[in-house]
Amino acid sequence: MRELKELVIIYESLKGGVDDMWQALRELMKDEIDKEIEERVDKEIEKRVDKVLAEKLDADNIKAIRNLMEKVSWTAEKAMDSIGIPESDWDKYKSMLNS
C-alpha cells in the first residue's frame, strides 16, 4: 500500500510539472504567434502607406506636368525634365497624361 501512495505522489508531482510545462509552452507559442501577427500587420501597413505615397507623388507630378504644359506651353518631356522626373519614368507619366 505504501508503494501505491508513493507512486500516486510521484504521479501527481510529475503531472503538475507536465501541466506547468504545457502552460509555459502555450504562453510561449501565444507570444510567438502574437509577434508574427504584429510583424505581418506592420509590413502590410508599410506596404500600403508606400503605395499611397507613390500614388500621391504620381498625382502631384501629373498636376505639375500639366500646369507647365498649359501655362508655358512646354512639351511633356521638357516639363518632366524641369521637375526632375527621371527619363526612365517618362513613359509611365506620358501614359498617365493620356488617360
Integer-rounded Cα radius of gyration of the chain:
32
Share of the chain above pLDDT 70, in %: 83
DSSP letter, residue 84 = T
pTM of the model: 0.64
pLDDT at residue 2 greater than cutoff 70: no
Per-residue pLDDT band at 14 (split at 50, 70, 90)? low
Whether the pLDDT of residue 3 is over 80: the answer is no
DSSP assignment of 25-69 equals: HHHHHHHHHHHHHHHHHHHHHHHHHHHHHHHHHHHHHHHHHHHHH
Q: What is the rounded distance in angstroms from the CA atom of residue 2 to the CA atom of residue 5? A: 5
